[in-house]
Structure 1
Amino acid sequence: MPARTLDNPLVLPVLGLLLESPMHPYQLEVTLRERSEEGQWPLNRGSLNNVVAALDSAGWIEEHERAQREGRPARTVYALTEAGHAELVSRLDLQIRSAAREFSPFFAAISYLGALGRERAVDALRERAERLTARIESDQARLTRALDGGVPALFVVEADYALHAARGELAWIASTISDIHAGHLTWPAPQTKDVQP
């Protein structure tokens, strides 16, 4: 198993879920899908199985039991090891303290907002705001269901963070649209090149 598998973004949530309780890979997949925003983690069964195998090889997780149900293949239930717990704590500490810039396709796109032209820029920002509003409503409903279902707030604190970040982005979009309409963001006159005959 390549060492870079241990750098996969799924490592952290898998270790975190196994801190809560031992699970088999399918249970990990289902729980990650239930708790995550769409597209939050690059989740597919193959990559998840590779991560689980890499964590097992690294000694960060271990077989807890093999569960067999009639008519189904045996499932290996994994548990976090002491080394896995130490790795989880180390990674969490490092990532929470870090203020490194994270790549965002939206950030890259707004760097060239002027290329759209004033009207198209406003239309694009309004459409993003509508989609973001729908996502916020959906995410808030998902968070409320989780909390009402007894999931401790600490276990879904990332959902609260994501909601705050999305609301901040929505406020920025509204402010930017307002600045465009007020003339605080101006577009340069179109440049034309002289064409030689």
Structure 2
Amino acid sequence: MGKTKPLGLLAVAALGYLAERPMHPYEMYQLALHRQEDRVVKVSPGSLYRAVYGLEADGLVLASGTDREGARPERTTFEITDLGRHLLGERLRELLSTPTNEYPELGLALSEAHELGAEEVRMLLETRILRQQAELADLDRRMTWALERGIPRVYWINVPYSAAMLRAEITHLESLLAEIADGALAWHVPGTRAPLHEQAATPPVSAQPTPST
């Protein structure tokens, strides 16, 4: 049967794994970690099992067998159905072509950062950048590892995307820190009201992208 709502991101990931080959949910979880996809979708063994059973209830995957390894519990292997493959393709086309507001937490934090002192914000952002630089170094090591082992890039193009997003954010925050340091960014005094002209201002209407035909 068809679905009445778009596939969630974890469902997309699960269907994507099963589109490659039948596997059990824990194997899918290990594959997600191996490909660094836990950076782009919130995943745990439990959430992945629930997602797969939900897909099974909707007719998008089906149980195709069981196996047991040593003393471990029996595991059910799943495979994707024709309907699952069709809806996966539809959802991927939508996600690739249509930008959406992902409501990043940092964006909100920056918009309200004026409620803290400039020096404290500077220290907090410097701490964030140090953590991001360590994260970026780890991503670079993983990309080198994959290249050295000849793993086809098509299976981990999400990793350089994550690295590019990190680099862009670091660059922006470093520029912001420079503005705070040299006074180019006039800082709001915490606890005071916004200027009257700011309270009354009406921002321009955002332009909506026109879908290509």
Which category of TM-score, normalised to the shorter sequence, fits these structures?
0.7 to 0.9
Give the superposition deviation at 1:59.
1.6
Distance of 2:177 and 2:34 partners within structure 1:
35
Q: Structure 1 residues 71-80 or 32-41, which shifts more?
A: 32-41
Give the superposition deviation at 1:146.
2.7
Give the superposition deviation at 1:128.
0.7
Give the superposition deviation at 1:6.
7.4
Contact 1:65 1:78 in 2 (8 A): yes
Contact 2:113 2:121 in 1 (8 A): yes
Give the superposition deviation at 1:103.
1.4
More helix by share: 1
Give the superposition deviation at 1:180.
1.3
Q: Which residue of 1 aligns with 2:172?
A: 172
Structure 2's unaligned 5+ residue stretches are 194-213
Contact 1:18 1:80 in 2 (8 A): yes
Matched position secondary structure for 2:9: coil
Q: Which residue of 1 aligns with 2:117?
A: 117
Contact 2:115 2:189 in 1 (8 A): no
RMSD: 2.4
Contact 2:114 2:187 in 1 (8 A): yes
Structure 1's unaligned 5+ residue stretches are none
Contact 1:6 1:55 in 2 (8 A): no
- Taking structure 2 as the reference length, the TM-score comes to 0.80
Give the superposition deviation at 1:34.
2.2
Q: Does 1:42 align with 2:42?
A: yes
Give the superposition deviation at 1:70.
5.1
Give the superposition deviation at 1:51.
0.8
Q: Which residue of 2 aligns with 1:81?
A: 81
- Taking structure 1 as the reference length, the TM-score comes to 0.86
Matched position secondary structure for 1:150: coil
Matched residues, percent identical? Answer: 28
Q: Where in structure 2 are the equivalents of 1:44-193 lying within 5 Å?
A: 44-69=44-69, 71-189=71-189
1:89-117 CA distance string (max 9 Å, x none)? 11111111121111111111000122221
Distance of 2:127 and 2:102 partners within structure 1:
24
Q: Which residue of 2 aligns with 1:20?
A: 20
Matched position secondary structure for 1:185: coil
Give the superposition deviation at 1:72.
4.0
Give the superposition deviation at 1:35.
2.0
Distance of 1:42 and 1:189 partners within structure 2:
37
Give the superposition deviation at 1:71.
3.9
Q: Structure 1 residues 31-40 or 164-173, which shifts more?
A: 31-40
Change (3 A) 1:65 1:6: farther
Matched position secondary structure for 1:78: strand
Distance of 1:83 and 1:177 partners within structure 2:
50
Distance of 2:47 and 2:118 partners within structure 1:
42
Contact 1:19 1:80 in 2 (8 A): yes
